[in-house]
Amino acid sequence: MSQPAPLVDRDQLARNRRRALRRGGDFFLHDEARFEIEDRLDMVNKSFTSPAIVTGFPEIWAKWFPDATIVPDDDVLALEERTHDLVIHAMSLHWANDPVGQLIQCNRALKPDGLMIAAFLGDQTLNELRACLGQAESMIADGLSPRVLPMGELRDLGALLQRASFALPVADKSVRKVSYASLARLAADLRAMGEGNALTARRKSIGGKAMFDHAEQLYRDHFAEEGRLVATFDLVFLTGWAPDASQPKPLMPGSAKMSLAAALQTEEFKLPDS
């Protein structure tokens, strides 16, 4: 029985990333992710001595975390088991064909009570572009083609942490709204970040001018502010710990020794029977 084709063409993704680096791309979202990660690490009452970073852009993240072990976001991560007290999966998980597998490998690489932070694009990222391209192509071209990477919803992405057996899982996001003068400028910015189309089922032809002109008009009609096209980028952060006996455990139902009313120093009233 043949296996289905993977969602992401990893060879094309690698070409997109090399081209972005060669042309001196603009990685402002990576900057934003780094600042958010540093803020989260500052809030953790723990020092980390053996960090590792998983990323599709080692050249960028190695400069920001010079003491970390940097590994590429290959399907099989070059991480040794129980070696690191911190693993950062940096701006690559949205391109993984097996995101749960990536998180499981990160978990295995952690020492007990080690921390994993994954930062990547998700949720409503580029929803405006996806909607406009889809509508324009369905009206002008012969059917739809995948042009924008599907993005997981936040609640579903948080469930990945539990599937990967992380303790104390937390999922949240930070929203960035970026405006562009034209659809061409948005597309150029995506290429400059190495975020161009790398879907396996993508059309190899770019598409007609009429289709993109119509998509831009739809964008201006529905998602423009003061004449500029607004694009959403949701930076999703997944945080989890490698299980350890020292971590707090939830109490069993009914085991509480104090009522909520007593804790709040208020009087408890029973509801009347209906």
Residue 221: give its domain's CATH number: 3.40.50.150
Q: Cα separation of 133 and 96, whole Å?
A: 23
Question: In the predicted model, what is the mean pLDDT of residues 149-153?
Answer: 94
Q: Is the predicted pLDDT of residue 204 greater than 90, yes or no?
A: no
Question: In the predicted model, what is the mean pLDDT of residues 81-87?
Answer: 98
Structure tokens of 37? 């990660």
Q: How high is the pLDDT of residue 273?
A: 64
Of 87-91, 140-144, 223-227, least confident by mean pLDDT is 140-144
As a whole number of angstroms, the longest Cα–Cα distance in the chain is 73
Domain for residue 28, yes or no? Answer: yes
Q: Is the predicted pLDDT of residue 258 greater than 70, yes or no?
A: no
- Other C-beta atoms within 10 Å of 33: how many? 23
Domain for residue 148, yes or no? Answer: yes
Q: How high is the pLDDT of residue 248?
A: 74
Q: How high is the pLDDT of residue 209?
A: 86
Residue 32 · residue 125 · CB < 8 Å: no
Question: In the predicted model, what is the mean pLDDT of residues 213-226?
Answer: 97
Q: How high is the pLDDT of residue 271?
A: 61
Total number of domains constituting the chain:
1
At 213, the pLDDT band (50, 70, 90 cuts) reads very high
Domain for residue 190, yes or no? Answer: yes
Q: Who wins on pLDDT, 92 or 208?
A: 92
Q: Who wins on pLDDT, 109 or 1?
A: 109
Tell me which residue range forms the domain holding 127. 10-244
pTM for the predicted model, two decimal places: 0.88
Average pLDDT of the residues of the chain: 91
Domain for residue 84, yes or no? Answer: yes
**DSSP states of 211-253 as a string?**
HHHHHHHHHHHHSEETTEEEEEEEEEEEEEE---TTS--PPPT
Domain for residue 3, yes or no? Answer: no
Q: How high is the pLDDT of residue 145?
A: 81
Domain for residue 37, yes or no? Answer: yes
Q: Is the predicted pLDDT of residue 116 greater than 60, yes or no?
A: yes
